[in-house]
Chain A
Amino acid sequence: MPATTQSPTNHIKRCKPLLGTYVEVSVLSENNNNDTLIDISECVFSEIQRVENLMSFHDPDSELSYINREASNHSCSISKDMEEVLLAALNLSKVTNGIYDISIAPTLVRNGILPDQSIDVDDQANWQDILIADGKISFKRKLLIDLGGIAKGYAVDRALCRVENQVKNITVNAGGDLRMKEWSGESVGIKASDTNGFNSLIFVPMHQAALATSSNYYIDVGKSAIIDPFTKKELKDKKSISVFASNCMLADALTKVAFLDITLIPIFKPLGVKAISIDESGNVQDLCETLDHG
């Protein structure tokens, strides 16, 4: 009987505090030893760190902070990464008629969710006052941009794409915003929380390569990071919304859109997007299905 040869499979899982949360990297390979996998995961973490250094609202030295300080005074050159994220964000604003709006930052500052950097803003300003052309950005009115609802997903995408060709499978999970190389057949546990703080995990199959979840259950009582751009009111809903998409940046951003207006989600169905909500009783609702039949 001929001997069968089977390649040994190596697997590592690491975690570091990045992007203001816990970033977990899981790498599986048949060709690399564990030391090489450590090096590969190091590339993932350094790519995430690089994106964080560009897009952090909290860091006064980030490219984003520079833009927030200067773009209402003069047009500023921006990096390719920043241009890609801002154009994607503005495109989403356009498609959702302003429901998705990265200029909501001043309300988050007022509510104590984001730090106050003492920058004057015009309360009437919105996403339409952000102009991007030829690699430069300028603000028509004084405003503040926060990329908290999209940059984490972008960082996950960039990090995964940088190394995915070197491994059999990889998952990058930045505090619940995750992307897998081989996602078919995988399942994921989604956290659910009721009014009494009873937490549970609800298992669902992966529908796409990326998944992001938004919920308020980790935020202090009475606060929310999700703001209605028209009323400036915080959404204190206790449900959670999870969005599956082909990339994590889109999944991340669409969780906020779904929170504010779920009727907009079918627009993204041709892109393979699927959204589910989990209520305080742990009931899972397929948002696309409900809308199809409703």
Chain B
Amino acid sequence: MMSGINNIKNFFIKVVALIGLSLLPVGHLYAEVYMSTEKAKEVLWQTTAMSPVALVLTNDQMDAIEEASGTWVRNGNLKAWKTKTGGWFIIDQVVGKHEMIDLAVALTNEGKVKGIEVLQYREAYGHQVRHPKWLAQFFGKDHTERLQIGAQIHNISGGTLSSRHITEGINRLVHTWNLVLRHL
């Protein structure tokens, strides 16, 4: 039994080493793509029509949102769509100590959370987890292919990672609605 586990383990180490040498200079990553933006629109808002709203938050708005939500506003560029019914569809990103997540959030015309979908989840496995370069590798177009390699891993078990960064991100978006979106 144990030799079987060791064989699997050794095989995995070799695979990871090969991937690491060829593609991933900064540790290896587990990444899972769950859903496209278009599919998330359909799941969260069904057939309700929506149109994109180009929006860059001002420094004052970002400060006000930070104060109201107690959460840092990392990016002033909002990827948002307004629905025909006055609701919102927003693509957002949250960064935790271990994970980085793209999510879609639907808010009703009263600013209430209608639904949340995680679109993409990335977690690093490597000694650079706490290194700033770990976060840096998530940004920029060139990394997309690398991040998808781990998608072949079907199921992972481990100590429970708290989703509190999502809770904070949702709180930030609800305050963004209250201070900015509701007036548009």
**In the complex, which residues of chain A have a beta carbon less than 8 angstroms from the beta carbon of B18?**
none
Partner pick for B4 among A17, A24, A205, CB 8 A cutoff:
A205
Name the prevailing secondary structure of the B interface residues.
mixed
CB distance B157 to A211 under 8 Å? Answer: yes
Partner pick for B167 among A17, A196, A202, A217, CB 8 A cutoff:
A17
**In the complex, which residues of chain A have a beta carbon less than 8 angstroms from the beta carbon of B118?**
14-17, 22
Does B132 lie at the interface of the complex (its beta carbon under 8 Å from any beta carbon of A)? no
Closest A residue to B1 by CB, please name it. Answer: A286
CB distance B163 to A199 under 8 Å? Answer: no
CB distance A199 to B129 under 8 Å? Answer: yes
The smallest beta-carbon distance between A15 and chain B, in angstroms, is 4
Does B32 lie at the interface of the complex (its beta carbon under 8 Å from any beta carbon of A)? yes
Interface magnitude class on chain A: 35 or more
Closest A residue to B131 by CB, please name it. Answer: A197
**In the complex, which residues of chain A have a beta carbon less than 8 angstroms from the beta carbon of B11?**
203
The smallest beta-carbon distance between B27 and chain A, in angstroms, is 9
Those of A170-196 within 8 Å (CB) of chain B: 171, 173, 175-178, 180, 186-191, 196
Complex-state Cα separation, A289 to B126, whole angstroms = 30
Does B116 lie at the interface of the complex (its beta carbon under 8 Å from any beta carbon of A)? yes
**In the complex, which residues of chain A have a beta carbon less than 8 angstroms from the beta carbon of B4?**
205
Those of A196-236 within 8 Å (CB) of chain B: 196-205, 211-219
Does A75 lie at the interface of the complex (its beta carbon under 8 Å from any beta carbon of B)? no
Closest B residue to A202 by CB, please name it. Answer: B9
**In the complex, which residues of chain A have a beta carbon less than 8 angstroms from the beta carbon of B162?**
20-21, 218
CB distance A197 to B161 under 8 Å? Answer: no
Closest B residue to A244 by CB, please name it. Answer: B157
The smallest beta-carbon distance between B164 and chain A, in angstroms, is 7
Partner pick for A21 among B1, B125, B129, B163, CB 8 A cutoff:
B163
**Most chain B beta-carbon neighbours within 10 Å: one of A22, A152, A176, A217:** A22
CB distance A204 to B158 under 8 Å? Answer: no
CB distance A177 to B157 under 8 Å? Answer: yes
CB distance B155 to A189 under 8 Å? Answer: yes
CB distance A178 to B8 under 8 Å? Answer: no
- Interface Cβ pair total, 8 Å cutoff: 136
Those of B22-36 within 8 Å (CB) of chain A: 30, 32, 34-35
CB distance A201 to B156 under 8 Å? Answer: yes
Does B127 lie at the interface of the complex (its beta carbon under 8 Å from any beta carbon of A)? yes
Does A13 lie at the interface of the complex (its beta carbon under 8 Å from any beta carbon of B)? yes
CB distance A201 to B159 under 8 Å? Answer: no
Those of B128-153 within 8 Å (CB) of chain A: 129-130, 153
The smallest beta-carbon distance between A237 and chain B, in angstroms, is 11
CB distance A218 to B155 under 8 Å? Answer: no
Closest A residue to B4 by CB, please name it. Answer: A205
The smallest beta-carbon distance between A277 and chain B, in angstroms, is 12
**In the complex, which residues of chain A have a beta carbon less than 8 angstroms from the beta carbon of B58?**
none
CB distance B8 to A191 under 8 Å? Answer: no
Does A163 lie at the interface of the complex (its beta carbon under 8 Å from any beta carbon of B)? no
Does B66 lie at the interface of the complex (its beta carbon under 8 Å from any beta carbon of A)? no
Does B56 lie at the interface of the complex (its beta carbon under 8 Å from any beta carbon of A)? no
CB distance A152 to B157 under 8 Å? Answer: no
The smallest beta-carbon distance between B17 and chain A, in angstroms, is 11
Complex-state Cα separation, A126 to B154, whole angstroms = 40
CB distance B34 to A152 under 8 Å? Answer: no
CB distance B30 to A204 under 8 Å? Answer: no
**Most chain B beta-carbon neighbours within 10 Å: one of A18, A152, A202:** A202
The smallest beta-carbon distance between B166 and chain A, in angstroms, is 4
CB distance B158 to A240 under 8 Å? Answer: yes
CB distance A213 to B157 under 8 Å? Answer: yes
**In the complex, which residues of chain A have a beta carbon less than 8 angstroms from the beta carbon of B156?**
173, 176, 188-191, 201
CB distance B166 to A199 under 8 Å? Answer: no
The smallest beta-carbon distance between A236 and chain B, in angstroms, is 13
Does A88 lie at the interface of the complex (its beta carbon under 8 Å from any beta carbon of B)? no
CB distance B158 to A215 under 8 Å? Answer: yes
Complex-state Cα separation, A111 to B117, whole angstroms = 32
Closest B residue to A192 by CB, please name it. Answer: B158
Those of A264-294 within 8 Å (CB) of chain B: 282, 284, 286, 289
Does A246 lie at the interface of the complex (its beta carbon under 8 Å from any beta carbon of B)? no
Does B72 lie at the interface of the complex (its beta carbon under 8 Å from any beta carbon of A)? no
| Interface, chain A (partner B; CB < 8 A) | 13-18, 20-22, 24, 26, 38, 152, 171, 173, 175-178, 180, 186-191, 196-205, 211-219, 240, 242, 282, 284, 286, 289
Additional 6 contacts, C-beta under 8 A, given A18-B163, A26-B154, A191-B125: A15-B118, A24-B34, A188-B156, A190-B157, A201-B125, A218-B98
